Copies of this chain bind each other. A is one copy, B any other.
Amino acid sequence: MPHRTALRSTPSPSEGNELRFCGTCAFSRACLGEGLDKAALRELQCLVEHIGPFQPGEYLFREGDPFTAIAAVRTGTVKTFSVDSVGREQVLGFFLPGEVIGFNAIHGARFPCSVMALDTVMLCRFSFPSMAALATRISSLQSLLFRLLSQEIKKAALLAGDFTADERVAAFLLGFSRHYASRGYSAHRFTLAMPRADIANYLRLAAETVSRVMRRFQDEGLIAVNRREVELLDIERLEYLAQPVLR
């Protein structure tokens, strides 16, 4: 199943651009780093469809949608959430560039949550059946998929512990810091793409509590925060605070 002639919402750039563009993606990063060679990567590129841009608030997938593909975030930030029987939203996670959406939809064959753009978002879409077929031929790809799935289990379990508001907020901020640092961006300064309400919902706190904790962190010289602009001033102490969460 080598080539896929699927519709693209965006014309595909040249291969050279592809490799540069997607250097931060979970697939190319892990693949290249783990012995998946250029030839294999080229086969992956045959599968990818670049879709977007999506506008803030736009749905990328809706809860209940049939699962046909996983997608790597190329640019922007997305949130996943589900809506309970009473109509309350539960934010399940945020995905930054390079992270992969849809692993929790394999079992069940439907998306168990909705996926929404928080800002302008571009995605790399991979047909999952095609990718699975490719994975039977390229064992390093199979291995990568297993690892990414396994990583997702650990991520999901992270916030399940009974942690204090301080621990949660510190871990949340450090999560961004580490993500950006590992991709060559600043570990100290970044912009949060989501409103406080979403952060609070994700951390299972009230929005007011998040606001208060951040205020106190600022008073204590740990961070400088203005609306969605965040600067981490004392990462060491933040890591100490977040230790119970991040282990």
Interface residues of A (CB under 8 A from B): 82, 84-86, 90, 92, 103-108, 112, 132-133, 135-137, 139, 142-143, 145-154, 156-157, 159-162, 204, 243-244, 247
Contacts and interface: CB of A to CB of B under 8 A. Distances in A.
B150 A104 contact: yes
Contacts of A84: 243-244, 247
A84 B242 CA distance: 12
Given A136-B136, A160-B159, A160-B160, A243 B154 contact: no
A215 to B, nearest CB: 22
A170 to B, nearest CB: 14
18 contacts: A84-B244, A85-B244, A85-B247, A90-B161, A92-B157, A104-B153, A106-B147, A106-B149, A106-B150, A108-B150, A132-B139, A133-B139, A135-B136, A149-B149, A149-B150, A152-B153, A153-B156, A156-B156
A153 B103 contact: yes
Contacts of A161: 90, 204
Oligomer: number of copies: 2
Contacts of A243: 84-85
B135 A142 contact: yes
Nearest to A240: B85
A107 B148 contact: yes
A235 to B, nearest CB: 18
Contacts of A90: 161
Contacts of A156: 153, 156-157, 160
Closest 10 CB pairs of A and B: A106-B150, A156-B156, A162-B204, A107-B150, A149-B149, A107-B151, A160-B160, A104-B153, A156-B157, A107-B147
A157 B93 CA distance: 10
Of A133, A145, A151, A157, the most chain B CB neighbours within 10 A belong to A157
